Amino acid sequence: MVQQVWAVSPKHMSILLPWKSLWELPGKQARPMKSRCPINHPASIVQISLLDTFDASWQEHEVDKLHQLESILQEIGSCLVAYSGGVDSTFLALMAHRVLGSDALAVMADSPSLPRREREEALALSRQFGFPLEIIHTKEFQNNEYLENPVNRCYFCKHALFVEMEVLARQRGVSVLLYGEIADDIGDHRPGSQAAKEFQVRAPLREVGLSKAEIRTHSAALGLSTATKPQMACLSSRIPYGEKVSVEKLSQIEQAEAILRQRGFHDVRLRHHALAQGAMARIEVGTTEFDRLIQAEVREDVVKCIRALGYLHVTLDLMGYRRGSLNTSIIPGKIPSPSHGT
């Protein structure tokens, strides 16, 4: 069982850090201080300065961003956090819980576009780190505008989420909704941002300028497994715009991606293309994983298993995995960089 350490920065940013993440960092030694922790805490606890542990690696601007984030959360007072179990929303949910305690509630939308594996991992994280979580069932699959899969499909998904979160906020007497948009998302194709504006949902990670790389660094310090988690998007994002979304297609996609992950592939997308004769599966994996995938034994096994799901053709995209590859059809000149297995 991982013990917990109560760590407080010089500006009193209260964060629970896993003991292991503090004491096993090469070359870093935490300096114990007099404890002011809850007397009923079950683990052995010491109080240390966060900066005493990380002063060799954290830059002043990074610490300032965390102080700004804490200030925003304190000013908000109470909130619901849209939570998916991904890198950004997990960090935000945990930070909100550490700052606001029971006045912060993570809210996860459950629908056919959420892989069951992702759902279970998200639930496990909330249990492990002790932040409260409520699952709501959104209704985007009852909306034909969503099922038609237009280029702004994400708008209808986020709209359905915020409708339900707004109802829950009124029931709980919560004043603010939050979601995990970050600085890197500025300028990307993100129709969901429009829904956030309409519902006045705040994005504190973006507001303080936190990047994906910084969030991964801070997540690692907090002991979050999401620090190294590949970026994920809903299953509907695997279907090209204009091709209808259906529960059946999403089930095929989820099972096909599971086949690849079970064989050790890290960055994985299975793009589902409808053809006149049947569906084609276009596999995207990191370019560094090509050699293993095309080995005869692995290739034949993957093709056999994916075709058993109902795919007529199974292909490998030679561009490799890249985030938002289907967006190239709607943003002229945008060609996402291939993954290098990171």
- Final residue before a domain boundary, out of 228, 254, 280: 228
Q: Is the pLDDT of residue 296 over 70?
A: yes
Q: Could you tell me if 80 and 169 are in contact, meaning their C-beta atoms sit under 8 angstroms apart? A: yes
Q: Are residues 124 and 165 in the same domain?
A: yes
Of 61, 119, 69, 67, whose CA–CA distance to 96 is shortest? 69
Q: Are residues 140 and 287 in the same domain?
A: no
The DSSP bridge partners found for residue 105 are 80
In a domain, 337, yes or no: no
pLDDT of residue 285: 96
In a domain, 309, yes or no: yes
Q: Are residues 114 and 165 in the same domain?
A: yes
Q: Are residues 75 and 223 in the same domain?
A: yes
Q: Are residues 129 and 65 in the same domain?
A: yes
In a domain, 300, yes or no: yes
Whose tokens are 């009193």? That residue is: 12
Q: How far is the C-alpha of 257 from the C-alpha of 263, rounded, in Å? A: 10
Q: Are residues 217 and 258 in the same domain?
A: no
Q: Which residues contact 86 (CB under 8 A, 6 or more apart)?
A: 180, 226, 229, 231, 232
In a domain, 260, yes or no: yes
In a domain, 342, yes or no: no
The CA–CA distances, whole Å, from 100 to 41, 132, 156, 170, 199 equal: 18, 12, 30, 18, 22
In a domain, 265, yes or no: yes
Compute the average pLDDT of residues 71-99. 97
Q: Are residues 164 and 194 in the same domain?
A: yes
For residue 45, which amino acid is it? I
The CA–CA distances, whole Å, from 288 to 75, 215, 267 equal: 45, 25, 10
The CA–CA distances, whole Å, from 198 to 76, 110, 139, 177, 259 equal: 19, 22, 18, 12, 39
Q: How far is the C-alpha of 236 from the C-alpha of 272, rounded, in Å? A: 10
The DSSP bridge partners found for residue 134 are 107
Q: Are residues 142 and 281 in the same domain?
A: no
Q: Which two tokens stand for residue 301?
A: 């096994």
Q: Are residues 67 and 183 in the same domain?
A: yes
**How many domains is the chain built from?**
3
Q: How far is the C-alpha of 245 from the C-alpha of 89, rounded, in Å? A: 25
Q: What is the pLDDT of residues 282-291, one digit of tens each?
A: 999 999 999 9
Of 158, 156, 127, whose CA–CA distance to 143 is shortest? 156
Q: Is the pLDDT of residue 36 over 60?
A: no
In a domain, 338, yes or no: no
The average confidence (pLDDT) of the chain is: 82
Q: What is the pLDDT of residues 44-57, one digit of tens each?
A: 333 333 334 344 45
Q: Are residues 48 and 105 in the same domain?
A: no
Q: Are residues 218 and 246 in the same domain?
A: no
Q: What is the pLDDT of residues 171-210, one digit of tens each?
A: 999 989 999 999 888 766 678 899 999 999 999 999 999 9
pTM comes to: 0.78
Strands (E), the chain: 4-8, 14-18, 47-48, 79-82, 104-110, 133-137, 176-178, 268-274, 279-285, 311-316
Q: How far is the C-alpha of 186 from the C-alpha of 205, rounded, in Å? A: 12
- Final residue before a domain boundary, out of 38, 56, 74: 56
Compute the average pLDDT of residues 262-269. 94
Compute the average pLDDT of residues 293-306. 97
Q: Is the pLDDT of residue 42 over 70?
A: no
Share of the chain above pLDDT 90, in %: 70
pLDDT of residue 99: 96
pLDDT class of 63 with cuts at 50, 70, 90: confident
- Final residue before a domain boundary, out of 56, 73, 92: 56
Q: How far is the C-alpha of 8 from the C-alpha of 22, rounded, in Å? A: 13
Q: Are residues 50 and 62 in the same domain?
A: no
In a domain, 341, yes or no: no
Q: How far is the C-alpha of 222 from the C-alpha of 228, rounded, in Å? A: 12
Residue range(s) defining the domain that contains residue 95: 58-228
